[in-house]
Amino acid sequence: MPKKPLSPTAPVLVVEDDGLVRMVAVDMLEDAGFDVLEAGSADAAWTILERTLSVGALFTDIDMPGTMDGLTLAGRVAERWPDIRLVVPPGGKDLHDAGLPDHGRFLLKLYRQGELLEAIAAAA
């Protein structure tokens, strides 16, 4: 069943341990009109998700410090909050969309704003 369109008022949670990369993604999303939440690790993101009433999309890196990586986070989010869209930059790994739960999307790094927005829209 397709998800309903993502509202620009539903926050996007950006999870990236590299502060500069996270800042660029946040800027792209804010410039497109999205509210954005930020986390530097999957563990911090999980805490935010448990305390936030509605998150529209999760944009998470794979390789991060902590007790779980981005793929584990995406899997746990898909199980607990199936309406959250999943977008994951594969970080040089040979991964395909079919490897993400809940119709998530992989997005190659060095993405542009339009590609990031398309990936979020397609993660239905």
The answer to whether 88 touches 71, Cβ cutoff 8 Å, is: yes
pLDDT tens figures, 23-81: 999 999 999 999 999 999 999 999 999 998 789 999 999 888 899 999 899 999 999 99
CATH number of 12-122: 3.40.50.2300
Distance CA 34, CA 2 (A): 21
Q: What pLDDT band is residue 1 in, cutting at 50, 70 and 90? A: very low
DSSP assignment letter at 100: S
Distance CA 93, CA 50 (A): 29
Domain ranges for the chain: 12-122
pTM of the model: 0.85
Consecutive H or E run containing 105: strand 105-106
